[in-house]
Amino acid sequence: MLHIPEFVLRLKVSQDVVETWVEEGWLRPQRTDQGLAFTEMDMSRAQMIRDLREDLGVNEEGIAIVLDLIDQMHGLRKTLRELCEAVGVQSPELQQRILADMRSRRPIPMKGPETP
C-alpha cells in the first residue's frame, strides 16, 4: 500500500490533484488511520487519468466517461469469467448444447458511427 506522499511522488502530480480525483470518485483508496492508502491498481488508474488529461487533453467529463466504460468492461469480464466457470462444471452433453446454441445465434450488431 502506498500512502499519499509516496503516491504523489511516483505519480508526479500534486497532492491536491490526487485529493480532487478521490473526491470525484475516480480513485477509491482505502482510508486508514494513517490517511489514504493506495494500491498498485490505484497507481495504474491514476497514471491513466494523468495521461488522459496531460497527454490527450481529455476534460473532466470525458475522463469520467472513460473510467465508467473501463469499470463496465472489467465488470463484464468478471461476469464472463464466472459464466465460463459455471459452464465448465456442467456435463459434457450440456456444454455441447450450450455451444451449439451459441453458434446458432446471429451476432448482435454493434451500433456505432456509420462506415461508408
Evaluate if residue 100 carries a pLDDT over 70: yes
Q: What local confidence, expressed as pLDDT, does residue 115 receive? A: 53
Q: What local confidence, expressed as pLDDT, does residue 105 receive? A: 85
Considering the chain, what percentage of its residues have pLDDT values greater than 90? Answer: 84
User: In sequence order, what DSSP letters do the residues of the chain get, joined into one string?
Assistant: -EEHHHHHHHHTS-HHHHHHHHHHTS--PEEETTEEEE-HHHHHHHHHHHHHHHTT---HHHHHHHHHHHHHHHHHHHHHHHHHHHHHTS-HHHHHHHHHHHHHSPPPPPP-SPP-
Evaluate if residue 41 carries a pLDDT over 70: yes
pLDDT digits (tens, 9 = 90+) for 1-36: 999 999 999 999 999 999 999 999 999 999 999 999
Note whether 40 and 11 are within 8 A (CB): no
Taking residues 24-53, what's their average pLDDT?
96
Nearest by Cα to 43 from 32, 61, 28:
28
Cell 456435463 belongs to residue: 91
Nearest by Cα to 63 from 39, 77, 47:
47
For 23: left if phi > 0, alpha if psi spans -120 to 50, otherwise beta; the answer is alpha
Q: What local confidence, expressed as pLDDT, does residue 114 receive? A: 64
> Whole-model pTM?
0.74
